[in-house]
Structure 1
Amino acid sequence: MSQVQWIDTIAGLMPHLMLAPIVLPLLTAALMLLLREEQQRLKLGLNLLSTLLGLAIAVALLAWSARAGSPATLGVYLPGNWPAPFGIVLALDRLSALMLVLTSFVALACIVFASSRWHRAGVHYHPLFQFQLMGLAGAFLTADLFNLFVFFEIMLAASYGLLLHGSGRARVQAGLHYIAINLAASSLFLIGVSMLYGITGTLNMADLARAIPQVTAGDRGLLHAAAGILATAFLIKAAVWPLNLWLVPAYSAATPPVGALFALLTKVGVYTLLRLWTLMFSSEAGASALFGGPWLIGGGMLTMAFGAIGMLGSQRITHLASFAAVLSSGTLLAAVGFGQTELTAALLYYLPSSTMAVSTLFLLADLIERWRNDGTRTDADDEDAPFLNPELLPTQGMNLDDDEEVLIGRVIPAAAAFLGLSFMVCTLVITGLPPLSGFVGKFAMLTALLNPLGLGTSSGMRLGVSGWSLLALMIGTGLLALIALTRTGMRHFWAAHDRATPQLRVLEGLPIAALLAACVALTVQAAAVMNFTQATANALHAPGTYVRAVMEAAPIAAPLVREAP
């Protein structure tokens, strides 16, 4: 087989591979449920293998979506072989492929970190983990609201078990609040979907995009009410203020790898709002064009302020990470509401780097807190190490600190240096300081805000109050986040001279290094990534290609059966 034939064969298999991110974790979880709870090593191996394979598949799908001929080309798969809008439809474009890769990569880092000890804290950790991945993948790939609700419930049901993993009063209390809030959100989801179906007669996203411009003026208000109710359910998941009071207690109470994985859940809400808003209320939606944009902008900016103030008042690193997730989500929501292609491209660049940085901060919180609680004995208290006691050494001519202790000869342990450098990189990405990807993403968003119609225009007169407010908030919240993270870093690293050397396992350091290396890679490859996100944003804000691809996808014809003579 020639190279061209091989490439054509792989390209022909790609549409069928779209089902793998859903089926693979489903089968893996089902297999692990058949195993005894004592077979933890086997379950861990299956979890790692399935997640790694899922990452490879997601990368292949991303490469396929990026190398497609048309900038807006996407893959459509009909699992039941029924055409839209009557059957189940899966659709893959650049946005969904990007979210699949991000989910698989963060999930792999979380399961590697959990393999050191956290996966043994409770039962059914590994099946719940895989069901969580199944729900996330389904939410990114589905093309109709009914199946979006199904995958949302799978994702939430798994998150309930993962949040309670390890038991404890704090987890149970936070878990009950988390479950109650999400059940209310699910009820709003159903109400909104039912109203939309009653008005338009369809739940397929592409079909909704075609039906909304044709809604009569008398039903327009009811349509907007249904969209508002549905959006509220997604805004709860996206942690918009004031519907996000459940997030910090829940995420900080979860075990560290679960908290790191939960950093993805707020991005599911952002993804869904971006997907539905650009489809249902695009510039082609007639009288409903850009409906709800000012609400997204206002809610996002209030969420940014809440997240930054929360970070400033936090004393625990897990609380810092939780409020950082809120701040990131608010930034994305506010940017989505402007409906500007360049701004959407910039926020899609910012989304993966901020998510990975927040996930890393959750993992670091575990290691730093464990180091903090290991004790306060130092080598200076050891009688066998008199060289660290200034009273037993001649100090004349040596560099001393304020306590007259010798500075020269103090070696920073490798584990402590790794934790400190990792925390510093997280700080740079979350606050948007140069030179890493957080700065590139925020700078791109600021540039898009200042030049809404492109370079060379009188953008200052067109920016408006909301634009200037978001610009000021992005700078101000970054400053508040910097103060909060710097203060925490000083308390845990600079003033941590009386602690024992931290104990760091390879399985704990490796996922942290991988997540931060990915942030660095986004910085190095910023031009290529921005080109990708720009093509993604162009396709989102011109949904005609998506609508045609889904609605015109033809079922596979049944093979002809010859009658026997």
Structure 2
Amino acid sequence: MNGWSHHLIVAPILIPLAAAAILLFIDERQRVAKAMVSLASTLLLITVAFILFRIESGPNGYEGVYLLGNWAAPFGVVLVLDGLSALMLLLTASVAVAALVYSLARWHAMGSHFHSMFQLLLMGVNGAFLTGDLFNLFVFFEVMLAASYGLLLHGSGQLRVKAGLHYIAVNLAAALLFLIGVSLIYGTAGTLNMADLAARIPEMEADRRMLMEAGAGVLGIAFLIKAGMWPLCFWLPTAYSAAAAPVAGIFAILSKLGIYIILRLTTLLFDSGPSAGFGSTVLLYGGMATLIFGTIGVLASQALGRLAGFSVLISSGTLLMVIGINDGAVSSGALLYLVSSTLTISAFFMLIELVERSQDAGANVLAVTMEAYGDADEDEPEEGDGVTMPGTLAILGTCFAMCGLLLSGLPPLSGFIAKFAMLSAMMGTGAIGVPPTVAVWVLIVLVILSGVAALISMTRVGIRTFWTSLEGTVPRVLVIEIVPVMFLLGLTLLLTVQANSAIQYMDTTIRTLNTPSIYIDAVRNATIVPGVDSDAGEGN
């Protein structure tokens, strides 16, 4: 990667930052102008993310190190692009485009500065995926959190405000833990550059290494809160279900940010040496507890929003368990599962609002009551009678059925392929060829049971919504609202069709992650641009 393409590494941060700044100078009454600026920024972002993804998936290998200010590591700010960060950038941009287009129907006009906060959220998330040091990870994490506070409260309402204040309190605590953890690591290691830190850990004395691991543990708690690991996850279903539909759609990527950072630090800092395997047991059993909690929550949920919120926990629990196992063959399938589940959950959050337009406020409660006690006044249909499902309900029903198949992991969609890849590797029939341990067998059972639970819940809610609707009203759905849902589900179809290429990309990415020397050498050997004044702020 050289020439102009090298400078594209910083573009996913600069594009939304510039857009957010421009949007602040446009009057709130000029909704169309603000929407066009935000949409243009997001479309440019997905274009850049796709180019970076294509570069990383090409034959040239790992070359994506960008030295901001033309200062060599570990003294300067470093951005690092590899297969994992390129994948997450493209996934974020895809979800962002869908959520933003969906919001243009009405949600962007329900409060002030929606587009500015949306762009700042993207800046924070993209920066967290690209940064190569813990201090700037904290900075981008705070930018992302600050924007998410405003987005969650967007649209007001008593339930949304209550959930938003709870969300703010929990995440402020997570930010404080983040700062404490970073301080402990810097105090013991003397550096926050991730590559430099990874090189110094094996050389630390035992007492200093213990303090460093304590800092890493505190830091890990902050990201486990964001990922939603039990018992740190009680805020998540309520907050996500209370958010506006497009906000919940983009929030689907936030829990994966926690997963990404845990995976990155685990493979880079604790892959070998005296600290090898640090935290893996906590991730394994914490992931199991999260998966059990999410499965119970899915079965117990009557509201669609709560069901989607607990589906996030099922996804997080599965991924945390895989990180705890620390096996490459399982992890490659888990990366595909991460992409598939994120696209599905984001589409599902936006689909929920469209589906619930056909129901009144008490429809679900009355349906549950009739399901439990029966309906004595129900008329039997005469022979030959039938009901024609309107076109809108047919489209919504098809999208709902696809979400059900993807969440439960049934064939033939990408959810099944991802789970099959994970389970086959766990059982020793995949690439590893090693008989599973008792813990892995428990994991296998939990993954299967969570899929069954999702199938039962989605089937129950689907029947109640599309076949036994109390009102029988057809919701008014705009094209601009259903197209983003179909776009995200279409991407899962693309993953299904291109499953072989996707798995190969995931395998290459995991092999790179499991060889931390590649990352360390790339950062430490990155050279500054000769003849360029570092104080001028020009990059490599």
**Normalised-by-shorter TM-score class:** over 0.9
Give the drift of 1:453: 8.3
Structure 2 match to 1:532: 505
Q: Distance in 2 between matches of 1:416 and 1:405?
A: 24
Say which SS state the counterpart of residue 80 (structure 2) adopts. Answer: strand
Describe the superposition over 1:433-458 as per-residue Cα deviations: whole angstroms up to 9, x where unpaired.
11100010011010111128836x4x
Greater mean deviation of Cα atoms: 492-501 or 422-431: 492-501
Q: Aligned pair 1:402/2:380, yes or no?
A: yes
Residues 421 and 430 of structure 2 are in contact (CA less than 8 Å); yes or no, is this contact kept in structure 1? no
Q: Aligned pair 1:21/2:8, yes or no?
A: no
Q: Note closer, same or farther for the CA distance 1:374–1:309 as it changes in structure 2 (3 Å cut).
A: closer
Residues 424 and 430 of structure 2 are in contact (CA less than 8 Å); yes or no, is this contact kept in structure 1? no
Give the drift of 1:221: 2.2
Counterparts of residues 456-535 of structure 1 (less than 5 Å): 457=433, 459-460=434-435, 463-496=436-469, 498-535=471-508
Q: Aligned pair 1:317/2:304, yes or no?
A: yes
Describe the superposition over 1:465-521 as per-residue Cα deviations: whole angstroms up to 9, x where unpaired.
211110110011111111111111111011127412222110011001111110011
Describe the superposition over 1:342-392 as per-residue Cα deviations: whole angstroms up to 9, x where unpaired.
11111111111101111111111101111213999xxxxxxxxxxxxxxxx
Of 70, 90, 110, the residue aligned with 1:81 is 70
Structure 2 match to 1:336: 323
Which letter maps to 1:332?
L
Give the drift of 1:65: 0.8
Residues 74 and 94 of structure 1 are in contact (CA less than 8 Å); yes or no, is this contact kept in structure 2? no
Structure 2 match to 1:112: 101
RMSD: 1.6
Q: Distance in 1 between matches of 2:431 and 2:392?
A: 47
Structure 2 match to 1:445: 422
Say which SS state the counterpart of residue 68 (structure 2) adopts. Answer: coil
Residues 343 and 492 of structure 2 are in contact (CA less than 8 Å); yes or no, is this contact kept in structure 1? yes
Q: Distance in 1 between matches of 2:25 and 2:431?
A: 58
Describe the superposition over 1:522-556 as per-residue Cα deviations: whole angstroms up to 9, x where unpaired.
01100000000000000000111110000111111
Structure 2 match to 1:147: 136
Of 392, 415, 422, the residue aligned with 1:415 is 392
Q: Distance in 1 between matches of 2:92 and 2:63?
A: 20
Residues 334 and 470 of structure 1 are in contact (CA less than 8 Å); yes or no, is this contact kept in structure 2? yes
Q: Note closer, same or farther for the CA distance 1:437–1:503 as it changes in structure 2 (3 Å cut).
A: same
Of 514, 520, 524, the residue aligned with 1:541 is 514
Q: Note closer, same or farther for the CA distance 1:452–1:157 as it changes in structure 2 (3 Å cut).
A: farther
Give the drift of 1:406: 4.5
Q: Distance in 2 between matches of 1:212 and 1:422?
A: 49
Structure 2 match to 1:385: none
Counterparts of residues 129-168 of structure 1 (less than 5 Å): 129-168=118-157
Q: Distance in 2 between matches of 1:199 and 1:68?
A: 39
Describe the superposition over 1:18-69 as per-residue Cα deviations: whole angstroms up to 9, x where unpaired.
1110000001010010011101111011111110110000000000011142
Structure 2 match to 1:433: 410
Residues 358 and 471 of structure 2 are in contact (CA less than 8 Å); yes or no, is this contact kept in structure 1? no
* TM-score, normalisation: structure 2: 0.93
Which letter maps to 1:122?
G
Q: Note closer, same or farther for the CA distance 1:453–1:368 as it changes in structure 2 (3 Å cut).
A: closer
Q: Distance in 1 between matches of 2:215 and 2:229?
A: 19
Structure 2 match to 1:294: 281
Q: Distance in 1 between matches of 2:231 and 2:293?
A: 9
Q: 5+ unaligned residues in a row in structure 1: which ranges?
A: 1-9, 377-400, 561-565
Identity %: 49
Greater mean deviation of Cα atoms: 302-311 or 10-19: 10-19
Q: Distance in 2 between matches of 1:502 and 1:191?
A: 49
Q: Aligned pair 1:212/2:201, yes or no?
A: yes
Structure 2 match to 1:555: 528
Higher Cα Rg: structure 1 or 2? 1
Which letter maps to 2:259?
V
Say which SS state the counterpart of residue 337 (structure 1) adopts. Answer: helix
Q: Distance in 1 between matches of 2:131 and 2:491?
A: 27
Give the drift of 1:279: 0.3
Q: Aligned pair 1:30/2:3, yes or no?
A: no
Which letter maps to 2:466?
F
How many residues matched?
Answer: 518
Give the drift of 1:116: 0.6
Q: Aligned pair 1:12/2:3, yes or no?
A: yes
Structure 2 match to 1:398: none
Q: Aligned pair 1:263/2:241, yes or no?
A: no
Say which SS state the counterpart of residue 385 (structure 2) adopts. Answer: coil
Residues 188 and 232 of structure 1 are in contact (CA less than 8 Å); yes or no, is this contact kept in structure 2? yes
Q: 5+ unaligned residues in a row in structure 2: which ranges?
A: 364-378, 534-540
Q: Distance in 2 between matches of 1:176 and 1:334?
A: 30
Q: Distance in 2 between matches of 1:374 and 1:302?
A: 33
Q: Aligned pair 1:58/2:58, yes or no?
A: no
Residues 234 and 272 of structure 1 are in contact (CA less than 8 Å); yes or no, is this contact kept in structure 2? yes
